[in-house]
Amino acid sequence: MVTQAKLYSEQCRTYGQWINGKEIKAENLIERFAPESGKVVAQFAEGTKEDALLAIENAKETFEAGTWSRMPGAERAKILARWARLVEEESELLTRIEIEESGKIRRVAEGDIAGTVDLIVYASSLANQVSGQAYMDIGEGLNAFVVKEPAGVVGAIVPWNFPTIIFGQKVPLALAAGCSVVVKPSEFTSGTAVELARLAKKAGVPDGVLNVVTGYGVPVGQTISESADVDVVSFTGSTRTGQLIAQGQGTNFKKISLELGGKSAAIVFEDADFDAAIDGVLFSIFLHQGQVCCAGSRLLVHENIAEKFVHALKARAEALVTGPLDDAKTEVGPLVSPEHLKIVQGYVSSAIDDGAEVICGGKVTQQAAYPDAPAQTFLPTILNGITPAMPIFYNEVFGPVLTVTKFSTREEAVKLANDSNYGLAGSVWTENIQTAFYVAQRVRTGTIEINTCLEGKPQLPFGGYKASGLGREKGLTGLEEFTETKTIGLRVSPKKGFFGG
């Protein structure tokens, strides 16, 4: 168990590349300034194309050697279970890294680490259950077997907003399937990826099976996604980058899984449990300052309760607590960077110019514990009077900004919800089961939840329609992303030759 250390200790963490079970120091480092304090809390190796190619080479050699890919599933399961226990033992260290590097409040950071443990445990339960089908006597003494095999080398590209738990959505299932992995974390939040790789080695994952290359998208991410020796690319990030990755596969024909942007709708009917809907809408947009791909950033509310509902939301949003991230009472933290803050501010300013009414927020405030640090906390913001004629109805803000649009019928609610290039998630709030299923069956999203939101359990596949991506993470479907299907035919009795003779 790691000893608890003071947040933002004077000792800056320095990470090299994690390749073939060893940490390789780098000449050039990327400094990470903590969103809350403005202090340098970590230095990450600035990866090169050569670093990425070395990691891919080691992953491929290890995969082909079979030390992991041909290890019995039961043995892989034991190692993954040990890994989960080690991650749980180091939860305080990992939590503090999340707080410092990503600007999470403590409760969210703790939840991410616990969720990552759950994901590894779930993957361990599947490692010895990769199954297929047997077809007996399907014609003239022919038997056949349809089997799932590990796909090969996986390139896992992880974003900055949830660096640990999204690592957990990709890597454990890839390992459970028998793949080798090269992880490229965000240059903002690379610390937990290296720490998790260290713990995987300690748990018994062979050298070369799990590698981490830190650095920028170009050249590291680009090299991984375009390499002919990478068999699967699993990417979470912006739709634009996902499009570039997909375009880059024109000559490689590798499998790709893309979890991209979202503009999810929270649809509240007049018969909804009022307090539960308020709680759900607040949670789905203001969790981690709205820096969540499946955030419920569009409130579609029935016109008969719209005024009352927005008034109650305003009161609750303005009561959310800002404060030190390490304080369990804090509910609002800073955005990930000054550059991202400017993007969020720009979206809000444009919406105001287009006629949006600011119900609350729309302002920047200082992080309470660090008055000398750059102000990066954007207060929870609600914009009323939003129509499909306004760009903010469609654009993913990726910040604590909720837009409000009224509807009068369930048909109109569905039409508004589907009026988006995205299709990642959504929620519907009603006490009428017929209304709930009417909406759930017609909204084109990968996930739609009834009277709840952002559940995200390991067993539940996650991914999107339309510009929200391809493929799925988590669940049995997520495991299959890292496998290939092979048909093995077996003739048990001779067959007359086609050509005679």
Q: Which residue in 459, 458, 437 sits closest to 448, CA to CA?
A: 437
Region of 285 (left: φ > 0; alpha: ψ -120 to 50; beta: rest) is alpha
Active site residues: 259
CA angle 246, 247, 250 (to 5 degrees): 100
Q: What is the DSSP string of 149-175?
A: EE--EEEEE--SSSHHHHHHHHHHHHH
- What is the 8-class DSSP label of residue 441? H
Q: Is 413 helix (H, G, I), strand (E, B) or coil?
A: helix
Instruction: Assess contact for 184 and 159: CB atoms under 8 A.
Output: no
Query: b/e for 423-437, b at 16 or more Cβ within 10 A?
Result: bbbbbbbbeeeebbe
What number of H helices and E strands is found in the chain? 14, 25
Contacts of 339 (CB under 8 A, 6+ apart): none
CA dist 120 and 203 (Å) reads 12
Q: Are 485 and 146 in contact (CB under 8 A)?
A: yes
Q: What is the DSSP string of 36-83?
A: TT--EEEEEE---HHHHHHHHHHHHHHHHHTTTTTS-HHHHHHHHHHH
Residue 23's φ and ψ, nearest 5 degrees, are: -90, 125
CA distance 345 to 341: 6
Q: Widest CA span of the chain, in angstroms?
A: 91
CB atoms within 10 A of CB 461: 17
DSSP string, 458-491: TTS-B--EETTEES-BSHHHHHHTTEEEEEEEEE
